[in-house]
Chains A and B, each alone.
Chain A
């Protein structure tokens, strides 16, 4: 992923995307004709009340679900044309998920959890281990790498989940209310990690319904009834994330 020949292309582009569940009269339109372009290096927060369609948007961007109408281009690839096998490949190489409830595989060590995406990418064992360890160091839980998820605090679990999301160097990191299950201190720490990842060049899209969390992002999108209600840029694309802690700037070299 080190060479990106066509830099001009946006990381993701939604063109007239709609998503309905069910059919006919009882069909629920979760997303209605959404156009969205996210450039490389952006840090986007998607806000909205429950039922506004933000989870649906997340699933579409994460290639977990396909749109009913419209086109979705991920790094220029039309994802709606892909079959199951190719979608698995896209999820593996291009997308890193961070979930609200961490979603670490139970009874499996932190290190092993981080190795999972690399296993599915058929990375050789030795290399896999090095990459996983590096990712755990980047999120600051290297001393816990042999612990099981049940032996870790919520904040630590979420850091492991972030390490797992970035270990394949994906085009985009998706956060689905990543701080939703955390207290404000751990939540703040997680957001600092996201901010540092963004400085390192990662494109981040996250869902949240808390304004304090959205304040970490450089662009805030509000969804209402499946449509984009507002799209506000709070910091320039090339600037540092707005709420990056000053003492964290020095740590960015390692991230």
Chain B
């Protein structure tokens, strides 16, 4: 009976469903967008290594005028690295990895390529940055101490220099100096900002000798804590170790970046953002529900006489209530299912640079809320139909 009611006025039913459809689709897509950007952020956290703190030269309180003066004081050196590796002063620190970066042009035969990142570092980088090798080996301690001319390449660099050929054991030239390729990194993809595979890694000693120069200082020190709970303790220890030797004009001239926690903050901001988006979408669902109610009221008025006939034939209050409630729930279920389909299709496309990630809970929730909205807004019209007095309903023209 209810199906017949819905089908008897197709266009109207369809337009009513559209309200619910848009609401459900909006909830699914917007939650997926919010979740998608949260996933991007957590991927970045993963890529950074979850337990690491980064120390960079340069303080927050520095004036612009003291540029030349500043660099001599802000330089991070291998001495600082040794100080941080002291297990009594820094019990929560697992490893300390110095990093220098420079820019190089790599050539192999006729191919030439400039990786966006070139770093000189120590073997602990592999673990601290979560950059394992896919083939060959990472830089070994021997190569580090022997100032070996070896290099580990990311997939993008390999592709640009070697194409599909095997790079292991080959000799490439970095700024004209020969290096042997000893390893290829596992691909990491993009972190949303840059291609993490566009990298070349050489031993710290070799890099300082041949590329950046010994006096230029470290561009950063990566500190890995023993566990994710000890990150903040490690950060505090590093700060207290470095502060006595790196203070000028009363303020520290180095920066400690606990990037994981920064990104966690951004993830929680993201969560608030997702909830806000969902709330906006929920409003459209509510509006859709009011549309259902409106149409059901019109339907009840139009079919007053029919209701009278049914009551005269012995329909109970609950029969009429059931018929009209079923009709409004049917409208919202169909609308909701269409909305789920639209939401899933819509989530396949990138929206403002974010690849939406559909959350199964949001699909179920949106559908359930859509149906509940239909039920809730169907109660009043259905109740009105069921309460009609048969003689008055029969007399209605």
Contact = CB atoms under 8 A, between A and B. Distances in A.
Nearest to A161: B309
B391 A59 contact: yes
A93 B315 CA distance: 11
Contact of A88 (B306, B309, B316): B316
B306 A117 contact: no
Given A103-B394, A108-B4, A120-B319, A164 B313 contact: yes
Interface in A158-204: 164, 168
Contacts of A88: 311, 314-317, 319
A81 B243 CA distance: 94
Interface centre among B4, B314, B316, B319 (most CB of A within 10 A): B314
B44 interface: no
A97 B314 CA distance: 10
Interface string A10-51: 000000000000000000000000000000000000000000
A77 interface: no
B79 to A, nearest CB: 91
Contacts of B394: 64, 99, 103
Contacts of A62: 312
Contacts of B308: 103
A65 interface: yes
Interface string B297-337: 00000000110111111111101000000000000000000
Contacts of A117: 313-314
A222 interface: no
Interface centre among A59, A88, A91 (most CB of B within 10 A): A88
Nearest to A116: B313
Interface in B58-97: none
Contacts of B314: 88-89, 91-93, 117, 120-121, 168
Contacts of A106: 306
A253 interface: no
B215 interface: no
A31 to B, nearest CB: 14
Nearest to A168: B314
Contacts of A147: none
B391 A65 contact: yes
B396 to A, nearest CB: 11
Interface string B266-300: 00000000000000000000000000000000000
Contacts of B390: 64
B316 to A, nearest CB: 4
Given A64-B394, A103-B394, A97 B310 contact: no
A57 B171 CA distance: 110
Given A64-B391, A106-B306, A107-B4, A97 B316 contact: no
B13 to A, nearest CB: 14
Nearest to B308: A103
A53 to B, nearest CB: 14
Nearest to B397: A101
B312 A105 contact: no
A85 B309 contact: no
Contacts of A92: 313-315
A103 B391 CA distance: 13
B316 A105 contact: no
Contacts of A91: 311-314
Interface in A74-133: 84-85, 88-89, 91-93, 97, 99, 103-108, 116-117, 120-121
A59 B394 CA distance: 11
Contacts of A104: 309
Contacts of B316: 84-85, 88-89, 120
Contact of A105 (B309, B319, B391): B309
A64 B8 contact: no
Nearest to A121: B314
Contacts of B311: 64, 88, 91
A103 B309 contact: yes
B313 A85 contact: no
B227 to A, nearest CB: 67
A84 B314 CA distance: 10
A120 B313 contact: yes
A99 to B, nearest CB: 8
Contacts of A99: 394
A104 B312 CA distance: 12
A117 B391 CA distance: 17
A117 B315 CA distance: 8
A105 B311 CA distance: 12
Contacts of A64: 311-312, 390-391, 394
B298 to A, nearest CB: 16
8 contacts: A64-B394, A89-B314, A97-B313, A105-B309, A105-B310, A108-B4, A117-B313, A120-B314
Interface of A: 59, 62, 64-65, 84-85, 88-89, 91-93, 97, 99, 103-108, 116-117, 120-121, 164, 168
3 smallest beta-carbon distances between A and B, as pairs: A92-B314, A88-B316, A120-B314
Given A85-B317, A103-B305, A121-B314, 8 more contacts: A59-B391, A84-B317, A88-B314, A89-B316, A104-B309, A105-B310, A107-B8, A168-B314
